[in-house]
């Protein structure tokens, strides 16, 4: 996909191990993220909205990011996820995506786009009529639905090097 589509984003993986929570399960001292790792993706932008709330005018912008599963497997080594998350870099709810100087938090993921319509995790073996079904089909993408998050709420900052 990187040779055809040049849309890229930066992916920040939420680090549950580093984030300290209080007795209510809140991250009072801030959340910690690993990354960023630059990923190729397809981006589907929704219309921007400015809903009026009790506190005034708000800003809302939802974007859908579509990743190839193979790209996530290749980038897993950049996070050293073999020791933290298994062998795969899997987008999860709460991870952050930086796109065009704006942050988007993942609300939902969808990983049910199958090549040839067949889920490789369920080969229905043994099947005497169609032997070898485990060799066909693949899960090719992960789709992430996100919403805009102001930079001060995310708390990701660049560290100055002196």
Burial of 4 (0-12, 13-18, 19+ CB in 10 A): exposed
Looking at the domain assignment, is residue 128 inside a domain?
A: yes
Structure confidence at residue 29 (pLDDT) = 63
Neighbours of 139 (CB within 10 A): 15
Burial of 13 (0-12, 13-18, 19+ CB in 10 A): buried
- Percent of the chain past pLDDT 90, that is, above it, reads 14
- How many contiguous H segments (helices) and E segments (strands) does the chain have? 3, 9
Mean predicted confidence (pLDDT) in 53-62: 78
Looking at the domain assignment, is residue 68 inside a domain?
A: yes
Q: What is the pTM of this model?
A: 0.71
Q: What angle do CA 60, 89, 125 make, to 5 degrees?
A: 115
Task: Give the domain range for residue 21.
Answer: 8-154
Structure confidence at residue 123 (pLDDT) = 64
Looking at the domain assignment, is residue 85 inside a domain?
A: yes
Looking at the domain assignment, is residue 118 inside a domain?
A: yes
d(CA 120, CA 136): 7
Looking at the domain assignment, is residue 159 inside a domain?
A: no
Total number of domains in the chain: 1
The residue ranking higher by pLDDT, 67 or 36, is: 67
Model pLDDT for residues 111-159, shown as the tens digit of each residue: 877 776 666 666 666 666 767 666 677 778 889 999 999 888 887 766 5
d(CA 124, CA 120): 9
Looking at the domain assignment, is residue 93 inside a domain?
A: yes
Mean predicted confidence (pLDDT) in 7-26: 72
């Amino acid at each position: 996909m990187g040779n055809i589509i040049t849309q890229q984003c930066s992916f920040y993986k939420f680090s549950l191990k580093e984030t300290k929570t209080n007795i209510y399960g809140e991250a009072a001292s801030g959340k910690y993220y690993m990354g960023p790792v630059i990923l190729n993706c397809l981006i589907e932008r929704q219309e921007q909205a400015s809903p009026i709330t009790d506190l005034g005018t708000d800003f809302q912008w939802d974007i859908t990011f579509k990743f190839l599963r193979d790209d996530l497997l290749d980038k897993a080594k950049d996070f050293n996820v073999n020791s933290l998350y298994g062998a795969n870099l899997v987008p999860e709810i709460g991870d952050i995506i930086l796109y065009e100087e704006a942050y988007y938090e993942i609300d939902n993921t969808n990983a049910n786009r199958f090549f040839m319509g067949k889920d490789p995790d369920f080969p229905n073996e043994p099947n005497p009529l169609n032997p070898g079904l485990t060799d066909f089909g693949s899960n090719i993408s992960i789709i992430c639905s996100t919403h805009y998050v102001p930079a001060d709420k995310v708390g990701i900052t660049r560290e100055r090097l002196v």
